[in-house]
Amino acid sequence: MQAALTLDLAPIARADRWRPAELAFWLIPVAAYFIFPDNLVLLTQIAITALFCLSLDLILGYAGIVSLGHAAFFGLGAYAAGLLAAHGYGDPLLGLVAAALVTAVLGYVTSFLVLRGADLTRLMVTLGVAMMLYEIANKLTHITGGVDGLQGMEVLPVLGQFEFDLYGKTAYWYAIAVLFALFCVARKLVHSPFGLSLKGVRLNVGRMPAIGAPVNARLSAVYTIGAAYAGIAGALLAQTTQFVALDVLAFNRSAELLLILVLGGSGSLYGALLGTIVFMSAHHMLSDLNPQYWQFWLGALLVVIVLFARDGVMGGLRGGQRRLGAALGRTKQ
């Protein structure tokens, strides 16, 4: 006890306080609504992808589980919510809950497959699971609509109050609200002892059992949570577009998501959000020019990030902040 008194515990005790920069960040979606009233569909997509990216960040950025098939959960969630709405259960929140449950179950079950191997095996198993789901959805045309997509969804008003409108206003606020709520939960998670132990696993998986931590149980848990988050993101996409295309399960979606996460900087919740904003905005502006150019520069960007800027946007920001801080410190003296 004596010892604790002499140590300033503030850094660990206040680690989870909301910082002003964070509050400012969350004004962006509000501002965007007023600045780009004609682009609400795009903004909604950004919010949904941000949630999807957040889910990958939890499992990859925090716990270090590599995945080439995260779209499996996104797609399953989309179909779960889509099918419910197409069969008369159109309440959006019900859809979200159902999607979360179904994907959590899949996540929990597959976590045992994924956790068995090393990185390479994990990449292949996650990829394989996603491809299997893709094939199932592709072949079960009478249920999923196959390549034509799932049609006939009827999504009821959110909370029985807010009807989905043509301009996408409701869709936008709905997606933002869900994103924000789940972000807050994720934020709690990463600052908790559980979150700390995930970082421990990522930083040195070999040490964790030696300090008494059941590594696989932790990884299973976070994989399940990540799956549920991805499922909810997929459900949001289905509900806000009233349609589920087969490509919700595609390999490209998983690969692109990895790119977004490393672009933003994995292992930081805001990295996932910033990466999505930067990526989707760039996509929107550049792909109008020519889709092929876009893909080329995307590839080039990925190569450059891996070779030269592994910490992503967040790393850049942090570096900038440090340098700024150092500069200010110097001027003060």
**b/e burial code for range 76-91 (CB count within 10 A of at least 16 → b):** bbbbbbbbbbbeeebb
Residues 25 and 274: their CA atoms lie apart, in Å, by 10
Nearer to another protein, 185 or 285 (CB): 185
Of 138 and 151, which has the nearer Cβ to another protein? 138
Q: How far is the CB of 19 from another protein (least distance, A)?
A: 14
SS3 140: coil
For residue 156, the 8-state DSSP code is P
Least distance from C-beta 262 to another protein, angstroms? Answer: 6
Closest Cα partner for 25 from 236, 176, 190, 175?
Answer: 176
Q: How far is the CB of 138 from another protein (least distance, A)?
A: 7
CA distances from 205 to 65, 133, 134, 200 (A): 11, 30, 32, 7
> Closer to another protein at the Cβ: 5 or 24?
5
Q: How far is the CB of 60 from another protein (least distance, A)?
A: 8
Distance of closest approach, residue 272 Cβ to another protein, in angstroms: 15
Least Cβ distance, residue 168 to another protein (angstroms): 29
Half-sphere exposure of 132 (CA within 13 A, CB side): 9
Contact status, residue 63 vs residue 202, Cβ threshold 8 Å = yes
C-beta closer to another protein: residue 234 or 312: 312
Residues 6+ away with beta carbon under 8 Å from 79: 137, 144, 150, 234, 238, 244, 248
CB of 29 to another protein, least distance (A): 25
Nearer to another protein, 292 or 331 (CB): 292
Give the integer Cα–Cα distance in Å for 61 and 272.
9
State phi, psi for 244 to the nearest 5 degrees: -125, 115
d(CA 20, CA 324): 17
Residue 155 in 3-state DSSP?
coil
At 158, phi and psi to the nearest 5? Answer: -65, 130
Q: String of b and e for 147-163 (b: at least 16 CB within 10 Å)?
A: eeebeebebbebeeeee
- Gap between the Cα atoms of 186 and 178, Å rounded: 12
Which residue, 42 or 66, is less far from another protein as judged by CB?
66
CA angle 51, 19, 331 (to 5 degrees): 130
**Closer to another protein at the Cβ: 97 or 113?**
113
User: Which lies closer to another protein via its Cβ, residue 169 or residue 199?
Assistant: 199
- For the bound state, the minimum distance from the C-beta of residue 328 to another protein, rounded and expressed in Å, comes to 21
We find the least distance from the C-beta atom of residue 184 to another protein, in angstroms, to be: 11
Using the minimum distance from each CB to another protein, give the nearer residue, 41 or 205: 205
Taking the C-alpha atoms of residue 91 and residue 162, their distance in angstroms, rounded to an integer, is: 11
